Amino acid sequence: MHHRRIAKRLGISLSEESKKLIDSRLDGFDEDYTHDLWKYDISDFKEVVEWAVGTYGYEGVKYCFLHMLLDTVQERTVSQSTRETSGARISRPIAHKIAFHDSCILIGQIVKDYLGEYYTLWEQIEPELMRHQDELSREMSRLLEVQSQIANVERLKMDNRRAEEMVSRYPRSKGALKKLYIGFVRRLWSKKRGETPKNEWGMQVLEEFKQKLGGMNKEASETVYRDFVDIAKRAGYMPNSSTFS
């Protein structure tokens, strides 16, 4: 696992087994902790840090901080690499460097604010992290998991664009109802191969979304529902001759 490999490179003196046990707690596989628990309950993370220092000493605390940092870098690398603002697109070639730098600042601040008694340990590993930030950020960006997450986000964005094009012909798909129309198309597309027959699936999705139209006035809900029927037919999820009410 990359956490343990990078820890070794940075000179954190822990056995592989010790690092695995710390990873297990921080990843929510041991005890009653949530994965990436520092995002949801800093007191739980502090508990793990206290356990680590009691069990493995200060090297255990350093490894906790490294684990937290690398998970944050991974998440931010995906986010930075897939954002669609003009600035993000321009900076995409160095997205991994930006993610690493920003993550170091964030984790340092979290440690300082909530785990101040261990801040000197963060200060001990931060210079080494910054010295290797180019190679570490590049290594993180090339992780199979990161590449897979980026590909999934890009696929979702492409599907959203396709769905937007599909619903653009319907006047009511503009404005507040745009999200509902796109949601309908994406729901149709969510059918897994080999499960419910396509026509049956189309009827199920229509019924599901018909319930969501209950808050509209009668004329508006009927118009939107007719649009949904037309979309389902055009997408091949209903026979063209079918009529539903």
Q: Is the pLDDT of residue 17 over 80?
A: yes
Determine contact, residues 128/11, Cβ cutoff 8 Å.
Answer: yes
Report the C-alpha gap between 240 and 174 in whole angstroms.
Answer: 25
Q: Number of C-alpha atoms within 13 angstroms, CB side, residue 55?
A: 18
The reported pLDDT for the residue numbered 34 is 62
> Is the model more confident about 195 or about 35?
195
The secondary structure of residue 237, as a DSSP letter, is S
Instruction: Please work out, in degrees rounded to the nearest 5, the angle formed at the alpha carbon of residue 116 by the alpha carbons of 20 and 10.
Output: 40
Between 24-33, 41-50, 140-149, the lowest mean confidence (pLDDT) is in 24-33
Confidence band, pLDDT 50/70/90 cuts, at residue 192: confident
Mean pLDDT of the chain: 89
Report the C-alpha gap between 11 and 125 in whole angstroms.
Answer: 9
Residue in the block written with tokens 């769905």:
163
Instruction: Please work out, in degrees rounded to the nearest 5, the angle formed at the alpha carbon of residue 39 by the alpha carbons of 24 and 50.
Output: 55
Determine contact, residues 81/150, Cβ cutoff 8 Å.
Answer: yes
Query: pLDDT digit string (tens) for 105-129?
Result: 999 999 999 999 999 999 999 999 9
- The amino acid occupying position 199 is N
Instruction: Please work out, in degrees rounded to the nearest 5, the angle formed at the alpha carbon of residue 32 by the alpha carbons of 26 and 34.
Output: 50
Residue in the block written with tokens 């998440």:
75
Token pair listed for 68: 């937290």
Determine contact, residues 154/147, Cβ cutoff 8 Å.
Answer: no
Report the C-alpha gap between 232 and 244 in whole angstroms.
Answer: 11
pTM assigned to the model: 0.79
